[in-house]
Structure 1
Amino acid sequence: MRRAAALLLPALVLAGCGGNEARKPAAAPTPTPSTRPEPVVDPAARLAAAVKAAWPDGVKQGPITFDDSKLVDTGFGPVLVSHGHVRDAAHADAGTIAVHYLDADGAGFTLRKSFPKAAESGSFGDLAEWSVSDKFLDRPVIQVEGGGTWQGYTCSVTTLVELRPEGPAEIASFPSLYDDGGAVEDRPQSIRGRIADIRKGQGFIVKFEGTRSFTERYVWRGGKYEREGGESRIPTC
């Protein structure tokens, strides 16, 4: 009886050791690294930094003041597009679109390339309107309209300028407004054209409405948009 108890004791001791191993605390889980939110960039401050890089001496450049700008992010870096106008301008003075290619530099920018007259249009020192669009091509396109009145005849031209890695390039230009009401008494004409039905990288149409209604189609060919069918049907000044 004593021998059986002696044999049982080591077995209980071993069992107790195994039980102690089972009760070892589990390894602490690996902490998940905290994710910090991306810093919020103030668009106004970013635009101001871009303008400072493009115009370090101020936005007044001779007779032209560039006080209306947009910062465009492209696949080849940030680009500042600026509209300039001339105060107390002569009739022949045009409005201007300047383009600056920038490089990010910390919280600011450095100037890479400058194109102070990427587009000129209009009269009396200003454009009619301008915008930047991503509808025409994979790269941004500046759309500019400018015109004027000469001896009662009012005309306007629309110009498209593509922002390419090497610099801005004009890809289309066409008459978009004609009005002779200030010069003609018998059957005056007033015709306005608007771009519509844009197919990116393929083409678009210009819908003309007014005293006459018609459309003209432009197709992408040879690195620019060209009008189909020869000369435009809208009169010019």
Structure 2
Amino acid sequence: MFDALLFFSAAMASIVPSEPTAADTALPVQLGDEAQPDLDEAFIAAFQLGGPPAEVGEAVRTLDGEAYYFKPVAIHAIGDDIWALLSVGHQDEAGHVSTGINAIHYLRDTEGGWQRKGEWFGNGATGTFGNGATAWGFSRALGKNPYLLTSGGGVWQGCAVGSAVLTELAPDAPVDRGSFTDSMSSGAGVGQKEQEYDGKIISAIPDRSFTVAYTGTRAIRQNYVLKNGKYELVGKDRIPGC
């Protein structure tokens, strides 16, 4: 875990800057509990809940006629005493094709407690069966603003695909800037070709481009370039889908 690269889930794709600084190449640092705000306290302020943190479980929100149940999973400082809180929301008894939803809140850390500055739903990757993101992390290697990376996906008749979404935590609001396949495996279904890929971001030029390297069936590298506010794949996608 590096100062410039903080991950909260081991399943999340890794990133390293293309031109490391002294901070980037420092020994891994594990933040102590006292260095991280209490998730439940931030969650209460974000969803404007009542009751002490110990009694808070989930927050329920109805969005487009669907009830989602949210839990906080990670919080990260993005500057000027502002923190970004990620909460993942799931649906109960959801079918395979249903997805969950993610919530991002911007909170100001004040002496009197948390103050909510903004609330957004629908950013980032989600999974099947009504689940939100299944992995997440934060990085400062992709641009001048911090980035949230989320991963989600599912299995379809013996073929599994995962997708990672890059969300810029801009001062005014979070913005999804692009996505890439971060995992793929097949062969369990009838007549399927057996193959497997795992992708990780191995280098980045901030606010310009990044490179994903894949291991598995074949070694592949794919480049993404920022165009009109979105990261686009250069050339044809060589990672098969389901």
Residue of structure 2 in register with 1:10 after alignment: none
Choose the corresponding residue for 2:189, options 183, 193, 197. Answer: 183
State whether structure 2 residue 226 is matched by structure 1 residue 220. yes
Unaligned runs of 5+ in 2: 1-32, 50-55, 61-66
Residue of structure 1 in register with 2:177 after alignment: 171
Residue of structure 2 in register with 1:117 after alignment: 122
- Higher relative contact order, chain-length normalized (CA < 8 Å, sep 6+): 2
- Matched residues in 1 for 2:122 and 2:182: separation? 22
- Matched residues in 1 for 2:37 and 2:162: separation? 35
Aligned residue type for 1:160: L
Q: Aligned pair in 2 of structure 1 residues 104, 85: CA closer, same or farther (>3 Å)?
A: same
> How many angstroms does 1:123 deviate by?
1.4
Q: TM-score, normalised by structure 1?
A: 0.72
State whether structure 2 residue 158 is matched by structure 1 residue 152. yes
> How many angstroms does 1:93 deviate by?
3.1
Q: Deviations over 1:202-227 (max 9, x none)?
A: 32211112112211011233323221
RMSD value over aligned CA atoms? 2.5
Residue of structure 2 in register with 1:93 after alignment: 98
Aligned residue type for 1:53: A
- Matched residues in 1 for 2:142 and 2:44: separation? 30
Q: Deviations over 1:140-179 (max 9, x none)?
A: 1111111110111111111101011221111111222222
Aligned residue type for 2:44: K
**Normalized per residue, which structure has more helix?**
1
Number of residue-to-residue matches in the alignment: 196
Query: Sequence identity, in percent?
Result: 28
State whether structure 2 residue 50 is matched by structure 1 residue 50. no
Alignment check: 8 A CA contact 1:74 1:140 kept: no
- Matched residues in 2 for 1:69 and 1:186: separation? 37
- Matched residues in 1 for 2:37 and 2:173: separation? 25
Unaligned runs of 5+ in 1: 1-40
Choose the corresponding residue for 2:142, options 128, 132, 136. Answer: 136
Q: TM-score, normalised by structure 2?
A: 0.71
Q: Deviations over 1:44-70 (max 9, x none)?
A: 555443222102225321442313231
